[in-house]
Amino acid sequence: MGVKSSNRRQQDQVLQMIVERIVKVADPEKVILFGSRAHGSPTEESDYDFFVLKSGVPNRLHLAQQIYLNLLDLPADASVDVIVETPETAFRHQENQAYIYREALKGRTVYERRPS
């Protein structure tokens, strides 16, 4: 069963809040929402799946932990999964048939840094 339209506005606000916090902490090149929320078929139990692309990350796990720490006060029903990767590695793994990378890169871009 899909999400009721009355909850849609609240979920859009939660999505925007999550993206803003990811951008503030990670300063990524791109943030991609993937999974059921990106494809327009979420249920009430669906989580928010994000693929965060950032060049030159010395420790992807540490950056993911920093993102999670900044999301601790989200509403209880806003479960979030974050994958941090460099753009180069993500695209290379996509070609090697790595399922999660392929699926994530098919998602919806919710943030992209403007060229300076």
What count of other Cβ atoms lies within 10 Å of the Cβ of residue 45? Answer: 8
Is the pLDDT higher at 51 or at 5? 51
pLDDT score of 6 more than 80: no
Residue 1, pLDDT score? 44
Give the CA radius of gyration of the chain: 14
With the CA atoms of 36, 37, 43 and 49 taken in that order, what torsion angle do they form, in degrees rounded to the nearest 10? Answer: 80
d(CA 116, CA 101): 27
Is the pLDDT higher at 28 or at 40? 28
Q: Which domains does the chain have, with CATH numbers?
A: 5-112 (3.30.460.10)
Is the pLDDT higher at 95 or at 32? 32
What token pair was written down for 22?
């990811």
Mean pLDDT score, 82-89: 94
pLDDT score of 108 more than 90: yes
pLDDT score of 2 more than 60: no
Residue 4, pLDDT score? 56
Residue type, 32: I
